[in-house]
Chain A
Amino acid sequence: MKSEEKSPSLIKRVLEQVRNGRVKMRPKSYFILRTILVVLIVCLVALFVLYLVSFIVFNLRTSGVWFLPKFGFGAMGVFFRSLPWLLIVIALVLIIVLEVFVKRFPFAYRRPILYSVLGIILLAFLGSFLIAKTPFHPELFWRAREGRLPMMGGFYGGLGLPKLADVHQGIVIGITDEGFSIETPRGELLTVVATSTDIQENDRVVVLGKRDDNRVEAFDVRKVDDEFDIFQRRPHRPMPWSR
């Protein structure tokens, strides 16, 4: 057989390379460090995905876009236009990166990709909604507003508090002849032209309508009742590290 004729030379060639030191055995510590590095990358990317998805939820709630599905089918166009697509795309790219790293492990590659991708997305959403229940993002947001958040301040002031053309969330601070006035989380005062009669002072509302300077012609207004309150800082619920 051809393979058997050539085989002695193959062994000889391989062992020769080993003996003359051209081929060296990698130490066990190299593989241990490599595994630790992969696990660390997986953990870091997973934590960043959690942070980012929970930040997207925070962004949607501060902008009022979170409440748009309550306005019905007509508001879905505005809803999709107002989504923070840049953050969503970054989160999706990170989920793909996480999947690439997770796929190195037998528990992931022995099953169809759909399972691990769905698992990652499910964990990201569950973790993010849990984070959204804590004062983590509101605390950072307020620190940014007070100028006590170096580096991340611009992130919370810009992406954390988007200025949208069609959706406006705020607290009603006064009733006027043509509607009412609201104060937004950015601290702006907007005059809303609306026919709704059941709006009262201190109501939290989301207004759907085009903004022209500080005036909004509302075509729909909804009161929202959410435990998430970005309008007021809660000093009685500080973050663990500031206790």
Chain B
Amino acid sequence: MVQAGKIESFGILVKRYQAKMLRYARRFLFNYHDIEDLVQEVFIKAYTNIQSFDASKKFSAWLYRIAHNEFINAIKKKGKEPMPFFDLDILLPRLASKDEADKKTNQREICQMIEQCLDKLDFKYREPLILYYFEELTYREIADVLRIPVPTVGVRLKRAKKSIKSFCQKLGYRYEK
């Protein structure tokens, strides 16, 4: 309906996804005061490019892709975090991690731990962690959002959890898995 030009339908979409987008932005971007403006820009870009959305696919994954680009541009503009020119993780083939199967059993505890230490993580590891544990995207959807190979998603999650574990231990939290 939005693609047919119904503005009210787009309003429903904004209402449905704004909390998710704000939450994603707050977890991904630290010390940013213009988070609302960035999320507003995400929705404006979504409206501008809505005709490129394939209705047979998941809207949320498409919206996360726009948000990812917007947030990365914000990081680049502000220069608060170093951006690697090239990432070796996406170059070589790797074995996919088995973590996806463990998701359900440990999710609640892991989410609590992650929430405490998220700001200590490099954004390269922070983002897949947020998308997987908090936004509940699959490896393939995360690969589509970040435009990285599917096995790399598993590798980054594994490394992210390892870093989180060590940060949590330093802060005195208990980390089971």
B47/A14 in contact, CB under 8 A: yes
Task: Summarize B's interface: helix, strand, loop or mixed.
Answer: helix
Chain B, Cβ-Cβ closest to A13: B40
B147/A103 in contact, CB under 8 A: yes
A12-28 near B? 1/0 per residue, CB < 8 Å? 01110111000111111
Listed stretches A71-79, A110-118, A127-135; interface member? A110-118
B149/A110 in contact, CB under 8 A: yes
Query: A214 an interface residue at 8 Å Cβ cutoff?
Result: no
Complex-state Cα separation, A114 to B148, whole angstroms:
12
Task: Summarize A's interface: helix, strand, loop or mixed.
Answer: helix
Contacting residues, chain B, for A19 (C-beta < 8 A):
7
B132-164 near A? 1/0 per residue, CB < 8 Å? 000000001001100111111000000000000
Complex-state Cα separation, A15 to B10, whole angstroms:
8
B147/A26 in contact, CB under 8 A: no
Q: A18-B7, A23-B44, A25-B5 are in contact. Are A11 and B18 (CB under 8 A)?
A: yes
B19/A7 in contact, CB under 8 A: yes
B51/A11 in contact, CB under 8 A: no
Chain A, Cβ-Cβ closest to B2: A25
A31/B47 in contact, CB under 8 A: no
Q: A15-B14, A109-B147, A113-B91 are in contact. Are A26 and B48 (CB under 8 A)?
A: yes
Partner of B143, one of A25, A109, A114: A109
Nearest CB on B from A23, distance (A)? 5
Query: B94 an interface residue at 8 Å Cβ cutoff?
Result: yes
Contacting residues, chain B, for A114 (C-beta < 8 A):
91-93
Query: B90 an interface residue at 8 Å Cβ cutoff?
Result: yes
Nearest CB on A from B47, distance (A)? 6
Chain B, Cβ-Cβ closest to A35: B52
Within 8 A of A (CB), among B3-50: 3, 5, 7, 10-11, 14-15, 18-19, 22-23, 26, 36, 39-40, 43-44, 47-50
B40/A14 in contact, CB under 8 A: yes
Q: Chain B interface (Cβ within 8 Å of chain A)? A: 3, 5, 7, 10-11, 14-15, 18-19, 22-23, 26, 36, 39-40, 43-44, 47-52, 90-94, 140, 143-144, 147-152
A3-B26, A11-B14, A106-B144 known; 20 new pairs, CB 8 Å cut-off, are A6-B36, A7-B15, A7-B19, A10-B14, A10-B43, A13-B40, A14-B47, A15-B7, A15-B10, A15-B11, A18-B47, A23-B44, A25-B48, A109-B148, A110-B140, A110-B143, A111-B93, A112-B91, A112-B93, A114-B92
Q: What 8 A-B pairs are tightest by C-beta distance, nearest first? A: A3-B22, A31-B52, A28-B51, A112-B93, A14-B43, A109-B147, A112-B149, A11-B14
